[in-house]
Amino acid sequence: MKYRTRAEIVSQMLDAAREDAQGVTKTKIIYSGGLSYTQSKEYLRLVLDRGLLEYHGTRNRYRLTQKGVEYLEMFRRTRALTEI
């Protein structure tokens, strides 16, 4: 299995949330990132604390924020520049 950086895992989680403007469930995010339950708690806390995702408790959904969109764009540009 290929080692993934934290940035790659976060980008996969954010991509999952980007799929639906109404937000996605925690399960969808966990599966998209290929995370264990323990890892998912850590990474969800990270993206929420950084303002990349927002949680809507009334619907139990996570939505991508504008900051999350910007993160994805920067991640993709950086990755494109550094690939050999």
Can you give the residue ranges of every domain in the chain?
Answer: 6-77
Taking every pair of C-alpha atoms in the chain, what is the biggest distance, in angstroms? 45
Tell me the per-residue pLDDT of 62-79, one tens digit each, with 9 for 90 and over. 999 999 999 999 999 999
As assigned by CATH, the class of the 6-77 domain is mainly alpha
| Average pLDDT value for the chain | 92
- For the chain, what percent of residues have pLDDT higher than 90? 67
Answer with the residue of higher pLDDT: 63 or 2: 63
Q: What pLDDT is attached to residue 64?
A: 96
Helices (H), the chain: 6-18, 26-33, 37-49, 66-82
Residue 80, token pair as written in the block? 């494109």
- Given a cut of 80, whether residue 2 has pLDDT beyond it is no
H or E, element range at 61? strand 61-64
